[in-house]
Amino acid sequence: MIKTAAKKNIPTYTVRSQKGLSAPVVRLISTQHNEPAWMLENRLAALKIFYHKKMPDWGAELSELSFKDLTYYWRATDQAESRWSDIPKKIKQTFEQLGIPKAERKFLAGLSAQYESEIVYHRLKERFTKLGVVFCDMSEAPRRYPELVRRYYGTVVGASDNKFAALNSAVWSGGSFIYVPKNVTVALPLQTYFRINAPAIGQFERTLIIADQGSSVHYIEGCTAPTYSRHSLHAAVVEVIALPKARVRYTTIQNWSNNVYNLVTKRAIAHESATVEWVDGNLGSHTTMKYPSVILKGKKAVADILSVAMANRGQHQDTGAKVVHLAPETSSKIVSKSVSLNGGRSSYRGLVKIAPNAKNSKVKVSCDALLLDKKSRADTYPTIRSACDDTLIEHEAAARKISTEQLFYLQARGLTPNDAERMVVAGFLEIFTRTLPLEYAVELNRLIELEMKGSVG
Amino acid sequence: MSTGIKKIIATKSRVVIPRHAVRVTLIIPPRTETTLEINSDHRHLKTLTVIINPGASLSLIQNFSADVPQELNEHIVVGSRATLTYVAIHKLRGVSNFRCLIEHQKAARSNVRLALAGKKQARNSTTVVSSLNAADSQSTVLVLAAASDQAQLDISANIAIGQRAELAVADLSLHALLLSPQAVVELTPKMEIKNSTVVAAHRATVSRFDPLEKFYLHSRGLTTRKAEAVLTNNFFSRLVDTLSLEMAKKIIPALKIL
């Protein structure tokens, strides 16, 4: 078993903070990153907010989450590596045992992989660097690009947004910083790879993407983790700023182990005629609360959100999307698909908000839920708030089981019940897989196969 | 005005509840077909509990087109193989809260249809919960809302399907029409499904008048006001789609007032 083998390879740490959250821990993280003073002040202010903020009283069950039992910072290697061959053998082995690297191997030239809290591999294709594209570890960004980071950091997701955003703002380390200059199109997707590899440790990466006027970028993050008995926390924050006429696509394939609390705040601001696309695939984890959102701030801005969730035994995938229309002629599309099996629970939670001056705006929301057995559960909790009389909002949702006709047909063509069910599920999620690069699509199908093993009979 | 609970057992095809009643419990005996009409004369009504016994049928027509109670809580239990047809028309002006919980037993059927017209400074919160936790039960909920002037309507509907609701069928539709730039509508169509054998769907829309339809009516000589009245009427006319002719006859005049 991949996950069992990976368990044996727990790496050694050069720096690791004590358990629990405190100001000294925050100072340690800041010192380790050699950050400017303003960022430390920012972190300490966020820590105060974290102490005062209440846990959300809605959504998934989080009562078992204990902040004092977590380690908030650790470092597996001393510095970022620039070539794959320089990466320690132990770390490479772990990647291989997880069975992921097919896509990553192929795209190594554009890969930035996060191992624990630090980037261990980072390289950007030379031609993009020549164009002025910045793709680096977020921990280095405040030092290397102080003006950009200071201008945009925390402008989309502030520390006071929610408890987990405050936590991230206080203890973040790692993540990606991307800046795409004016009118530059990044042809190949930029990719990073996050994973947790030690028990009861949180991962708090921070990603900041700035797409300047008329630019275009596709960012892919893939997540996976070995199984551990104690709860881990992944509380990331992603901020995307799409300046006028820019286009950003952010793809996530998440496959956390089933003891991870995945509580992520992802938000984008789309300026005039900008387009932001969130493509979000959620498999694994114990509890996921993730609602990628877009604030359509400029005229004719567009948001496109595709969210897919698969909830297996003991899992609650509380996912969805939020769109806020603030300007005229903005449009948004949300498509959500969920599969619940073996007693898993998937929930769609969405918000569509139309401001009074968002004239001629259009919204289309569609959620489909597939229930594979009697023990599983699917919920939808959408909220639509319109304060503009010149808009068109449509929402539709449906829940069903796999049609017996489909299963019968596939079995008549020689497929086993398990294969037939898997094929129907793969077809149901096809809208998501077709947006992915081929290697990722293949890997996703493999993950679905693993998730569905033994789900029939 | 009586403040005690008024218990009524329906024995006739048409049941009447006293004008000034505040809390009413209505029991529909097994295999009885009854119609209950509530109107603005019952504006003091705060709690209405209805138990529809097995095999019985209730047509409930609620016409608050003149005066709406500020606070109304309804709890309806639809017994085994019983049927509920529920049509409500609320003309909203001030602050009002309306909550309705419908519970279904085995093979129970309910068809809930609400028309809400918010005008002036109306501040309304409407919640409909349809709970299905028995086999073969069916529930349809349709809410049509129009907000004009500075009205603010907050409409939440929840279809909750439990583990025992084998082969249940549920459908929820919320449609809102925004008729002024200051009006606000919030729709929350929820579904909670714990059984894989069900067929459940919901949909919600928020829109204004279709400019092409309005243009057409203008071109036929109608004034803006008349054209808007025709379109609003057309929007609310969906309320009577699945009703019996007899029931539709009672509803249509009330809809025109909206």
Interface pTM, i.e. ipTM:
0.76
Of A39-48, A61-70, A128-137, B236-245, highest mean pLDDT:
A39-48
The model's confidence at residue A422, banded by pLDDT at 50, 70 and 90, is: confident
- What residues of B are in contact with residue A373 (Cβ under 8 Å)? 196
Between A103 and A190, residue with greater pLDDT: A190
For residue A197, is pLDDT > 60? no
For residue A272, is pLDDT > 70? yes
For residue B130, is pLDDT > 90? yes
For residue A189, is pLDDT > 60? yes
The model's confidence at residue A69, banded by pLDDT at 50, 70 and 90, is: confident
B88 lies in some domain: yes
Q: Name the percent of chain B in helix, strand, coil, to the closest 5.
A: 15, 50, 35
Name A17's Cβ contacts closer than 8 Å, sequence gap at least 6.
Answer: A25, A28, A29, A71, A72, A73, A74
Q: Do the beta carbons of residue A45 and residue A159 sit within 8 Å?
A: yes
For residue A223, is pLDDT > 70? no
- pLDDT for residue A355: 95
For residue A111, is pLDDT > 50? no
Which of A288, A374, A339 has its CA nearest to residue A449? A339
B218 lies in some domain: no
For residue A109, is pLDDT > 50? no
CA dihedral A201, A206, A207, A213 (to 10 degrees): 170
Between A202 and B243, residue with greater pLDDT: B243
Contact flag A371-B196 (C-beta cutoff 8 Å)? yes
pLDDT mean over A18-29: 87
Q: Do the beta carbons of residue A351 and residue A381 sit within 8 Å?
A: no
- pLDDT for residue A454: 57
B237 lies in some domain: no
Between A329 and A175, residue with greater pLDDT: A329
User: Domain limits of chain A?
Assistant: 87-402, 403-456
For residue B163, is pLDDT > 80? yes
Amino acid at residue number A338 = S
Residue B145: DSSP 8-state: E
For chain B, the distance separating the N- and C-terminal CA atoms, rounded to the nearest angstrom, is: 29
Residue count of chain B, please give it.
Answer: 258
Q: How far apart are CA A379 and CA B17, in angstroms?
A: 38
Q: How far apart are CA A437 and CA A44, in angstroms?
A: 40
Q: Do the beta carbons of residue B21 and residue B6 sit within 8 Å?
A: yes
Q: How far apart are CA A152 and CA B168, in angstroms?
A: 51
The model's confidence at residue A113, banded by pLDDT at 50, 70 and 90, is: very low
pLDDT mean over A36-65: 91
- What residues of B are in contact with residue A369 (Cβ under 8 Å)? 193
Q: How far apart are CA A435 and CA A423, in angstroms?
A: 18
Q: Do the beta carbons of residue A436 and residue A326 sit within 8 Å?
A: no
- pLDDT for residue A12: 53
B197 lies in some domain: yes
- What residues of A are in contact with residue B180 (Cβ under 8 Å)? 389
Which of B124, B91, B114, B123 has its CA nearest to residue B257? B91
- When mean pLDDT is compared across A176-180, A254-258, B106-110, the lowest value belongs to A254-258
- Quote the Cα angle for A279-A281-A285, to 5°: 145
Q: How far apart are CA B180 and CA A200, in angstroms?
A: 54
Q: Do the beta carbons of residue B128 and residue B112 sit within 8 Å?
A: yes
Kindly state the greatest CA–CA separation across chain A.
68
Name A9's Cβ contacts closer than 8 Å, sequence gap at least 6.
Answer: A90, A93, A94, A97, A197
Q: Do the beta carbons of residue A95 and residue A121 sit within 8 Å?
A: no
Which of B213, B193, B133 has its CA nearest to residue B165? B133
Residue count of chain A, please give it.
Answer: 457
pLDDT mean over B198-224: 90
For residue A202, is pLDDT > 60? no
Q: How far apart are CA A80 and CA A10, in angstroms?
A: 19
3-state secondary structure chain A: CHHHHHHHCCCCCCEECCECCCHHHHHHHHHHCCCCHHHHHHHHHHHHHHHHCCCCCCCCCCCCCCHHHCECCEECCCCCECCHHHCCHHHHHHHHHCCCCHHHHHCHHHEEEEECCEEEEECCCHHHHHCCCEEEECCCHHHHCHHHHHHHCCCCCCCCCCHHHHHHHHHCCCCEEEEECCCCECCCCEEEEEECCCCCEEECCEEEEEECCCCEEEEEEEEECCCCCCCEEECCEEEEEECCCCEEEEEEEEEECCCEEEEEEEEEEECCCCEEEEEEEEEECCEEEECCEEEECCCCCEEEEEEEEEECCCCEEEEEEEEEECCCCCEEEEEEEEEECCCCEEEEEEEEEECCCCCCEEEEEEEEEEECCCCCEEEEEEEEEECCCCEEEEEEEEEEECCHHHHHHHHHCCCCHHHHHHHHHHHHCHHHHCCCCHHHHHHHHHHHHHHCCCCCC
- pLDDT for residue A194: 47
Q: How many domains does chain B have?
A: 1
**Closest residue in chain A to residue B165, using alpha carbons only:** A374
pLDDT more than 70, % of chain A: 79
- pLDDT for residue A193: 57
- Quote the Cα angle for A278-A279-A282, to 5°: 120
A88-91: which pairs have CB atoms within 8 A and are 24 or more residues apart? A88/A11, A88/A120, A90/A9, A90/A11, A91/A11, A91/A115, A91/A120
- pLDDT for residue A448: 78
Q: How far apart are CA B55 and CA B80, in angstroms?
A: 6
For residue B195, is pLDDT > 80? yes
The model's confidence at residue B14, banded by pLDDT at 50, 70 and 90, is: confident
For residue B11, is pLDDT > 90? no
Q: How far is A449 from chain B (nearest CA, A)?
A: 21
For residue A117, is pLDDT > 60? no
Give the structural domain span for B135: 5-209
Q: How far apart are CA A57 and CA A346, in angstroms?
A: 18
Place of tokens 């139309």: A354
- pLDDT for residue A96: 58
- What residues of A are in contact with residue B191 (Cβ under 8 Å)? 378-380, 397, 399
B175 lies in some domain: yes
- When mean pLDDT is compared across A95-104, A150-159, A438-447, B228-237, the lowest value belongs to A95-104
- What residues of A are in contact with residue B179 (Cβ under 8 Å)? 389
- By Cβ distance, the residue of B186, B189, B198 closest to A399 is B198
Q: Does A356 touch chain B (CB under 8 A)?
A: yes
pLDDT more than 90, % of chain A: 50
Contact flag A399-B208 (C-beta cutoff 8 Å)? no
Q: How far apart are CA A48 and CA B161, in angstroms?
A: 42
Q: How far apart are CA B232 and CA A349, in angstroms?
A: 31
Q: Does A391 touch chain B (CB under 8 A)?
A: yes
- Quote the Cα angle for A344-A417-A402, to 5°: 50
Name A362's Cβ contacts closer than 8 Å, sequence gap at least 6.
Answer: A330, A331, A332, A391, A392, A393
According to DSSP, the residues that pair with A335 across neighbouring strands are: A306, A366
- What residues of B are in contact with residue A371 (Cβ under 8 Å)? 193, 195-196
The model's confidence at residue B10, banded by pLDDT at 50, 70 and 90, is: confident
For residue A392, is pLDDT > 50? yes
- pLDDT for residue B8: 84
For residue A84, is pLDDT > 80? no
Contact flag A385-B185 (C-beta cutoff 8 Å)? yes
**Closest residue in chain A to residue B175, using alpha carbons only:** A394
Q: How far apart are CA A176 and CA A187, in angstroms?
A: 18
Place of tokens 């037993």: B105
HSE value, Cβ hemisphere, 13 Å, CA-based, for A385:
13
The model's confidence at residue A85, banded by pLDDT at 50, 70 and 90, is: low
- By Cβ distance, the residue of B178, B196, B205 closest to A372 is B196
Q: Do the beta carbons of residue B25 and residue B1 sit within 8 Å?
A: no
